[in-house]
Structure 1
Amino acid sequence: MINTHYTFIILTYNEELHLQRLLNSIKGLNANICILDSGSTDLTLQIAEIAGAQVKQHTFINHPQQWHYALEVFEIKTPWVICIDADQIVTAELRLQLLNFKDEEHQDINGIYFNRKNYFKGKWIKHGGYFPFYLLKMFRYGIGYSDLNENMDHRFIVPGKTVLWKNSCLVEENLKENNISFWIAKHNRYSDLLAYEEVERRLKLRTQTLVPKLWGSPDEHTAWLKQLWWQMPLFVRPFVYFIYRYIFRLGILDGRQGFIFHFLQAFWFRLIVDIKIKEIVDAPVMKKNITDNPEIKPHARN
């Protein structure tokens, strides 16, 4: 019997390493699967076809715009959608919750946050503020939407009441990132997106969709932290962030792989972003291009 409560939407680009793993984790839920691909050249499309997924193609610009397109282009017939990245896995506990999920029992709720476990080089990154970590992944179709005011970080916005599912989680492990060269190249592209985004915010070309709240939802809290981050001086804030995560949020307990992850993600990546912001601001021609045409942005994908 086809699941009439929710539909899965998945973004892919050369995900033969991950897609079957994700599909295996949701097998038995009997939900429709929609896959938006951005030009895979490996076995991704064959895996999707065998799984009976509905597949469409769309040129990748950034994650927020790709999710926006996915929510627009597919014919969704269920009241809920679950938007999952190809490198994520539904755990047995989360699968059980989804198996028992019924729309009629959640009439007063518009969105559900899933807890996430993040793995790097086979190690669960448990500290440094990385667990628990809640992502809005399930929401009412036609009510939730992709936040296009973000350039790199993608998040969904849902008006109305949301809940946290605390006792089950997604596992996120990008096996391609076990190759450190892949991780560095990927985050170098991401640093372009983030640097341009912050310059646009400084020029008042981009605003936050959510109202920042220290004690709000996970995404409202993130918006509050970002507002604080943008006020901190360039080149100083990567040091502060790394020390905060590694010492005060106990990232030091994550071991050798944890040190590599926290150092690269909290310090190296943020420092590269700050360097690129300074380069953009100091280049009059580049600044003029951004001012004249805010649609000019670099592209990046996983």
Structure 2
Amino acid sequence: MQQDISVIILTFNEEKHIARCIKSILPFTHKIFIVDSGSTDKTVEIAERLGAIVQYNPWVNYAQQFNFGIENNPHKTKWLMRMDSDEYIMPELSEEISSKLAGLNDQISGIYVKRRVMFFNKWIRHGAYYPIWLLRIWRNGRGVCEETWMDEHIKITEGITQNFSHDIVDHNLNNLTWWTQKHNLYAIREVIDLLNMKYDFRDFESVEPKLFGSQEQRKRYLKMKYASLPLFTRPFMYFIYRYFFRLGFLDGTKGLVWHFLQGFWYRFLVDAKIYEVYQRVGKDKNAIVDFFQKEYNKNLRS
């Protein structure tokens, strides 16, 4: 059953994933808006063939790109949904959206769904990695993407939220070299995000940190606590917590690779990049802003 909802997807060279993503959405809506940042493969061709409307917009960061999608979405639907191109919706969630969405009362502004992560074709069930509750569906006009550099969440401006029972699946089909290169780039954004918590480079609308709030509020609270810990000790602490205390070792060999790379290597790389910043320009706020502008062409104040 088609619903009054449109789905916004950001793409760049996603020909491996985009058809799978769109086909999982079609059972409940054909209103799909893709913001592409200059794909040179068949991403746009595949998406348009499946009925999506595609618009080009140059990339700055995820939050600005997604908010461009919200503001320029040609589908004037009651509900919006956020999807990544390497994700797809489980049939059970599709059916849940079809059967429940239209009947929700007007006080409900946002809907949380669970995300499961697949790595080497294995579902990562442990290490505090499932379930991850994400606000992915919200009423048009009542939500924006917070403009952080990393871990961007949808911020609801009014109303209450509700949980749906079923999953979206994050299952990237690229190889491990691609994954490590991507996370090397992620690390730069993560550095900016962590340094912003210390130096407050700019003001922006963000999710309120709260230990006993929603999952993204709790995650933001814990991230701020993580940012206050000493460099190079926190990656060890985080990995031990995930792999041993939260039973990540039960995910087997593939899980070991995942938890080590995502839970330790990546976070150690972030700390190394922060250390590099301090070694190159010290801890002066303006010097750090100039460093990122010169080295990475990133304006920390915008």
TM-score greater than 0.5 by the shorter chain: yes
- The 1:106–1:87 alpha-carbon spacing in structure 2 relative to 1, beyond 3 Å, is farther
Unpaired stretches in structure 2, ≥5 consecutive residues:
none
The Cα shift of 1:63 comes to: 1.2
| Aligned pairs, number | 294
Identify which of 277, 282, 288 aligns with 2:279: 282
Identify which of 159, 169, 172 aligns with 1:174: 172
Q: Does 1:36 align with 2:38?
A: no
Q: Does 1:229 align with 2:217?
A: no
8 Å contact from structure 2 (residues 8, 82) kept in 1: yes
Q: Which amino acid aligns with 1:168?
A: H
- Higher relative contact order, structure no. (Cα contacts within 8 Å, ≥ 6 residues apart): 1
Q: Which amino acid aligns with 2:242?
A: R
Distance 1:61 1:43 in 2: 22
SS in 2 for 1:172: strand
The Cα shift of 1:277 comes to: 0.5
Superposed, which structure 2 residues align to 1:1-302 within 5 Å? 3=2, 5-148=4-147, 150-159=148-157, 160-165=159-164, 167-176=165-174, 179-206=175-202, 209-284=206-281, 288-291=286-289
Q: Percent identity?
A: 38
Distance 1:129 1:206 in 2: 31
- The 1:266–1:4 alpha-carbon spacing in structure 2 relative to 1, beyond 3 Å, is closer
Unpaired stretches in structure 1, ≥5 consecutive residues:
none
- What RMSD, in angstroms, separates the aligned Cα atoms of the two structures? 2.1
Q: State which drifts further: 257-266 or 101-110.
A: 101-110
Distance 1:99 1:295 in 2: 46
8 Å contact from structure 1 (residues 13, 40) kept in 2: yes
8 Å contact from structure 1 (residues 116, 171) kept in 2: yes
SS in 1 for 2:162: strand
8 Å contact from structure 1 (residues 280, 287) kept in 2: no
The Cα shift of 1:287 comes to: 5.4
Distance 2:183 2:61 in 1: 13
The Cα shift of 1:298 comes to: 5.5
8 Å contact from structure 1 (residues 33, 54) kept in 2: yes
TM-score, length basis structure 2 = 0.91
- The 1:206–1:281 alpha-carbon spacing in structure 2 relative to 1, beyond 3 Å, is farther
8 Å contact from structure 2 (residues 82, 137) kept in 1: yes
The Cα shift of 1:21 comes to: 0.7
Distance 1:254 1:80 in 2: 36
Q: State which drifts further: 70-79 or 121-130.
A: 70-79
The Cα shift of 1:27 comes to: 2.3
Moved over 6 A (4+): 293-296
